[in-house]
Structure formats: structure tokens, C-alpha cells
Amino acid sequence: METGSMEDKLLGSREEEEGGDLKRRFFTESGKLWRVAAPSILIRISSFGMLVVTQSFIGHNSELELAAYALVQTFLLRFANGVLLGMASALETLCGQAYGARQYHMLGIYLQRWWIVLTATATLMLPIYIFATPILKLLGQDTKIAEASQVISLWLIPIIFYFVFYFTLQMFLQAQQKNTIIAWLASTSFALQILLQWVAVYKLNLGISGAMGSMVLANWLILIAEFMYVFGGWCPKTWRGFSKSAFYDLWPVVKLSLSSGVMLCVELWYNSVLILVVGYMKNAEVSLSAFSICLSITTWELMLHVGFLSATCVRVANELGRGDAKAAKFAISVVSSTSLAIGVVFFVLFLVFGKAISYVFTSSEEVAEEVSSLRVYVAFSVLLNSIQPVLSGVALGAGWQSIVAYINIGCYYVIGIPLGLLLGYLTSLQVRGIWIGMICGIAAQTFVLICITQRTDWDLQVEKAKARLDRWLLPDTNESDGNTTSHA
């Protein structure tokens, strides 16, 4: 009996130690997670909030202008956002892994290479925004909405080039866990934009031009401040000045960017295709306005979890770069449980306050009622959005962009959109049918990514990360080999 009692005590003591160790590891990893996630969440909420606030100012001005802005923002702007953010996300993978491997000098070179590639890409996209009205008419959109969209579309051109530098600088600083500065700048700019738009729209009666011009000005002020931070010496290890090396090996950058771009583009364009489909429905102005309001609400809440996506990418990439497979797996577990817990809270909130939120964007009772009919579906979208971005962050951190691109195409365009069309046009569900199709596509993608993540050999991923970094590595010669042409 005494022997059994001693064994029980030893076993209990061991379990307590393991439990205590797990608790310590969880809180330690949570600390690392929130150092990246908290600023990233603030950045995403502030950045997307600029679009939402602009929508709110325009929406209270005119129902036609609200529908036009919804079409341009969700279709044309998301097109550019998908391409540029998707291509920039490959930089996040490389910077995160290089920083983990202590190849600090390569981060600045990677940054400059992506500037070159993304600037060229943004320039090639300009005709889409210059000829927005003819393109939208060609796609069968309502004539009045298409014509009202032209002014808004032209105002987006400076935003597109802002994306080039904003996304890449964010990836560069985030990999070093220096994105707090961007968070402060983004939140300050967000507050400034609200003030500028209030003056421009309500006091000076400048309408769309006042709302859009204020957004452009606020965004570019952030960017100028970020350039000053990087060039001013606050990143001494990773920014060594402009380098000739940035012009070497651009083709591998293009290939990696394209595979990464396809992955995120397919995901971000999913909603764009759906908003285009809604534009063909009867009473297009009301349907489009209600769908875009729900999409804006869910996307703004999604920015919380996109912050976790960024944190997951950084943590997984850092640990793979360091060669620690177990730490990468544990980081995924911690961020997944944290993001899901937050998603459950917002699921309940949207069930309760779905209709009330719509009045922030519109004064139309008809639009508000349509939004109310979608609130249950919106709540389930919010719940799925708490899981899916984390899994996408795992894919980015591990460099699985090509695989996930195929998964996204299958789940969104083979399952989600066809199902949404069937339910939206062949039943009485209308807009609700489109939204149900969207939910099914996201659910299918989430399920597949969970299966892949669980079955992954993370030791093999460490080896692949090392091989990728070795292939891109250049010697850290500073100025001695003449590579560095100028310093900020």
C-alpha cells in the first residue's frame, strides 16, 4: 500500500510539473503571439476602417453613390488588393524565415526586390481603373451604378501605389516584430481621416471627391512616416541602404510572388465575384447596398483574425528558420485557440446586434431590413473567419502558397460560387442564397486546411525552409564589394 501510495504521489507530481510546464509554455507563446498580433490587428482594423468610414460618409449622402462605392471597393479595389497583397505575402515568408535564421542583411534586399516587382504590377493594372465604367457596363452592371463608379475608381489610383509600399514595409517590419510603429501611425491616420472627411463632406459639401481625397491624404501620410522610420536608422541590422543586389534574381521573385499572389487573390476575389453576381439581381441598389454592408461588417471583424494570420505567419516562419519544428507546431495550437475564442464572442454579438449595426452605413429602412435578414448568416461567417485566416497564416509561414492556391480555387469557385448562384437565382433566398454559398466555400477550404496542417511533417518543413534560404542567400559584405550604392 505504501509503495502504491508513493507511486501515486510521484505520478501526481509529474503531472503537475507537466501541467505547469504546459501553462508556462502557453503564456510564453501567447506573449510572443500578441507582440506581433496586437499591432497587426490595430493596423488591419485601422486600414480597413478607412474604407468602411468612407463608405459610411458616402452612404449617408446618396443610395446610388453607396451602391457605386460598394461595387468599386468590393470589386475593383479588392482586385488590386488581392494582387498586391498576395504577391507581397511571399515577402512575409522570406523575411520571417531569414530573420529566424539571422540572415538580417537579406531583409532589406528582399524588400527592394519586391518594390520593383510590385510597382511594375501596379502600373500594368492602371487601365482597369481609368476605364472602369466601360468595363463595368461590359460586365452587365446597372448603367447608373457603373457611371457613378468612374469618379471613385480614378481616386483609387493613388491608393493602388500606396498598397505597393505599405504592404511590403509592413511585412518587412513585422518579421522583425517592429510593427508597433505602424500600428500607432495607422490608428493616428484613421482618426485624422475621420476628421478630414467630416470637414470635407459635411462642412465643405465636397461629396465623393471630399471623402475619397481625405482617404488618399491620410493613407499617404502613414506611408511617408514609415519611410522615415526605415530610412532614418531604426532598422540598422536589416536596412543597409539601396543596393544593386535588388536588381539581381528578379525572376525567382516574380515566380514566388505569382504563386503567393494566386493563393490570396483567389481568396480575396471570392467576395468580389459574389458582389458582382448580386449586382445582377432585381432591385440591384438595395441588394448591392445590403450585401456590401454585411461584407464590410464581416471583413472589418475579419481584420482581427487577419492580425492572427500575420502573427501565425511570423511565428511559424521564425521557428522554421531557427530549425525548431516543435515550437512551430505549438505556436499554431496557441494562436488557433486564441482566435477561435474571440470568434465565438463576435458570433454572439452579430446574432444580437446585426440589424442595429446597419444604420451606421445607411438611412434606408429597406436596406436595413435586408441586412437584418442576413444577420444569422453573417454570424456564422464570423465564426468561420476566426479559424480560416490562422490556417492561411500557417500556409504562408511554411511556404505552401501553390498548394493552397489550388485548394482555394476548388473550394471557392467549384463549390462556393456555383452553390451561391443556384440558391440565389433558382430559389426565393436571393441574397441569402449567395451568402450561404459563400459560407459553404469557406467551410470547405477550412476543413481541407485543417487536414493538411494536422498531417504535416514539420521536421521536413524545417529542411525545406533551410534549403529555400540557402538558395536566396547573398554574402553580407556591406559596402566592401560595392553592392551598396547609397544609404538613407
Q: pLDDT per position in the chain (488 positions), as tens?
A: 445 555 455 444 444 444 558 888 888 888 888 888 888 888 888 887 788 788 778 876 677 887 788 788 877 887 888 888 878 877 877 888 888 888 888 899 999 999 999 999 999 999 999 999 998 888 887 788 888 889 889 999 999 999 999 999 988 998 887 878 888 888 898 899 999 999 988 888 888 888 889 999 999 998 999 999 999 989 898 998 888 888 887 887 787 777 777 767 777 677 767 777 776 777 767 777 778 778 777 877 777 887 888 788 888 888 888 888 888 889 888 988 998 999 899 898 888 876 677 777 777 778 778 788 888 888 898 888 888 888 888 877 777 777 887 888 899 889 998 998 899 888 888 888 888 998 999 899 899 989 988 888 888 888 888 887 777 777 766 544 444 333 33
165-218 confidence digits (pLDDT tens):
999 998 899 888 787 888 888 889 889 999 999 998 888 888 888 888 999 999
The phi and psi torsions of 214 (rounded to 5 degrees) equal -65, -40
Q: Which three cell numbers stand for residue 312?
A: 501565425
Q: Which three cell numbers stand for residue 36?
A: 506581433
3-state secondary structure of 484: strand
**What is the structure's pLDDT at 1?**
46
CA angle 170, 174, 176 (to 5 degrees): 130
Closest CA to 391 of 350, 354, 445, 433: 445
From CA 131, how far away is CA 476, in angstroms rounded? 46
Give Cβ neighbours of residue 414 (< 8 Å, ≥ 6 apart): none
- What is the b/e burial string over 255-282, where b = at least 16 CB atoms within 10 angstroms of the residue's CB? ebbbbbbbbbbbbbbbbbbbbbbbbebe
Q: What is the mean pLDDT of the chain?
A: 82
Instruction: Name the helix (H) or strand (E) containing 315.
Output: helix 284-322
Whether the CA torsion 241, 242, 248, 251 is positive or negative: it is: positive
Instruction: Name the helix (H) or strand (E) containing 242.
Output: strand 242-243
Q: Count CA within 13 A, CB hemisphere, residue 438.
A: 30
**What is the structure's pLDDT at 477?**
62
**What is the structure's pLDDT at 478?**
59
**What is the structure's pLDDT at 20?**
59
From CA 43, how far away is CA 224, in angstroms rounded? 16
Whether the CA torsion 445, 447, 448, 449 is positive or negative: it is: positive
| Helix-, strand-, coil-residue percentages of the chain, each rounded to 5 | 85, 0, 15
**What is the structure's pLDDT at 484?**
38
How far is CA 4 from each of CA 1, 15, 16, rounded to the nearest angstrom? Answer: 5, 16, 18
Give Cβ neighbours of residue 121 (< 8 Å, ≥ 6 apart): 83, 84, 87, 164
Q: What is the dihedral of CA 157, 161, 163, 168, to 10 degrees?
A: 170
